Structures are given as structure tokens and as C-alpha cells.
Amino acid sequence: MLRYTLKRLLSLLVSLAIASLVIFVVIEVAPGDPASFMLGINAQEDTLAALRAELGLDQPKWQRYVSWVGGMVQGDFGMSYQYRTPVAEMIGDRLWVSLPLALYALTLSTLIAFPAGIYAAARRGKPGDMGVMGATQLGVAIPNFWFAMMLVLIFAINLRWFSAGGFAGWDKGFFAALKSLTLPAIALALPQAAILARVMRSALLDVLGEDFMRTARAKGLTRGQALRRHGLRNAMIPVLTILGLQFSFLLAGGIIIEQVFYLPGLGRLIFQSISARDLIVVESVTMLLVFAVILVNFAVDLAYAAVDPRLRART
């Protein structure tokens, strides 16, 4: 188990190293010089050079990469070109919107999808299954940002249960903040829940066809008992994979949903920074998101091993 963990940890570090390099290169080849963008087209050549030096843009590329990565390891994400404030601070504030939103959505999605998937698998081919499957088929097809607009139209504009956008802030109390994240979280969660429920159902149905399920029934377990005691844990492996992928979707999907609800999260930060050519911010936010995704994959790998003794033994 320890060896397995170490091996996964190593591959996590390698992924991070390559990812940072890729992001750095992509942003480096991007057209547009931040310095001239900030000073406008009429800027003097010597002012530009001074600004470049101040921003560290005159250093060789590899040196800038090293100092960027080295800084990130110590929690220093550099200074924003645009606002001249530490990027870490900017990200820190926004993270308190984006991360809770993703977790909130993930929780909702899991709470909806698991029971729905199990229910559908248990009633395979019966009306209950058809109903759930029909609903998920539709759920998969709905773009989450459109769904968000519909939620706003119904629950904010017509019913006035929620505000149409903006974030109350955690200092206004936990529930006020949670309330302002509720519509966005639902918009994110439902389409994802549809996918997850389908995966849950098909994983369970696959397991139901296994020989050991017949052994379980031959012991005298009812269909439901066999499903719960022997089916679920074996079905968890594909479900965990999707759950890991979903976190990445939710973080990214959050960027778009933040636009719909005017939430001050990482998504809005990234769009503002792109339009202002504040590349260091774009670089760092992307890296942070990639880091989160890789970290979640690492956690999923560990969860696999917890579920499946064969994996623990193999490595």
C-alpha cells in the first residue's frame, strides 16, 4: 500500500512538472507583449524596457520558468502586471468562491446520482428505470449555462426566492453565502448528476452479471441485499473514475457558471486577466486548476486501492 502510494505520488509530481512546462510554453508563445499592452501603443521604447525589467520580462525564458515554478512552490505566484498586487492574494479571495461552489455541486450531484443510479439498476427494464434513464438522457443534453439562465428566470426573476446573481460573501454568514451559491451549484450539479447516475447504473448492471453475484444469491441473499453487500463496492471503481473527472468538469464548468451569476470567482478572474493580458495571473490560475485536477486524480487512485485489494497487492 505504501509503495502504491509512493508510486502514485511520483507520477503526480511528474504530471505537475510537465503541466507547468506546457502552460508556460503556451503562454509564452501567446501573441502580445504585456508591457506594451499595459502602456498603450504610444509608449516610449525606454519606458517599455523599464516596465519589462520591472516585470522580469527581460530575463531569459528558462530563468523566468524556474523562478515562476520556484515561487509557486513557496506560495509566491508573482505580482499581477495589471494591479501590481500579489497574484496569490487575488487567487486566495476568488478561491473562496470557486472551491466551495465546486464542492457544493459535487455533493449535490453525488446525492442525486447515487440513489437514482442504484434505483434504476435495481428496477432494470421497469418503468422506474425508464423514467430515470429518460431524465438522465435529457440531463446530459442540457448545457449547464442555459440551465442556469432558466433557474434565474424561474427562481430569481419570477419567484424571487434567490437573487439573480452576485455573491453575499462569507462575512455575511454561512447560510447567506451558501444561499447565493445554491442556484449556481444546482445548475452545475444536475447535468453532471445525469452522467454520474448513468455510470452508476451501468456499473451496477455489469456487476450484476458477475458470477459472484450468483454465489451471493445462492447463499440466500435477496436481490437487494446482494446488490448492496456485493454489488456496490465492486461497482465503485468505474464510478470513482467518473467522480474524479467530474471534479475537473465542475471546476471548469464553474468558470462559465460564474459568468451567468456574476460570481467573483476564479472564472471571472481568468477572463478579466485574459482581456488585460495579465498573463501571470492566467498562468497561475490555470496551473492552480490543473494542480487541483491532478490532486483529485491522485485521491481517486488512492480510493481505488482502498476499494480493491487486488490493486494494493499488485504494486
What is the per-residue binding string for another protein in 295-314, x denoting contact by CB under 8 A?
--x---------xxxx--xx
Return d(Cα 163, Cα 180) in angstroms, integer: 7
Grid cell digits, residue 315: 504494486
The separation between the first and the last C-alpha atoms of the chain, rounded to the nearest angstrom, is 8
| Of the candidate residues 24, 104, 167, 249, the single one contacting another protein (CB under 8 A) | 249
- Measured from the CB atom, the residue of 50 and 237 that comes closer to another protein is 237
What is the per-residue binding string for another protein in 64-103, x denoting contact by CB under 8 A?
----------------------------------------
Contacting range for another protein; rule: CB under 8 A; set: 72-80, 106-114, 174-182, 293-301: 293-301
CB of 44 to another protein, least distance (A): 27
- Given a contact cutoff of 8 angstroms between Cβ atoms, the answer to whether 50 and 249 are in contact is no
What is the per-residue binding string for another protein in 195-234, x denoting contact by CB under 8 A?
---------------xxx-xxxxxxxxx------xx--xx
In the region spanning residues 141 to 170, those forming contacts with another protein, defined by CB under 8 A, are 141-143, 145-146, 149-150, 152-153, 157
What residues line the site for another protein (CB under 8 A)?
Answer: 3, 7, 15, 18-19, 22, 26-27, 30-31, 137-138, 140-143, 145-146, 149-150, 152-153, 157, 210-212, 214-222, 229-230, 233-234, 245, 248-249, 251-253, 255-256, 259-260, 270-271, 274, 282, 286, 289-290, 293-294, 297, 307-310, 313-315
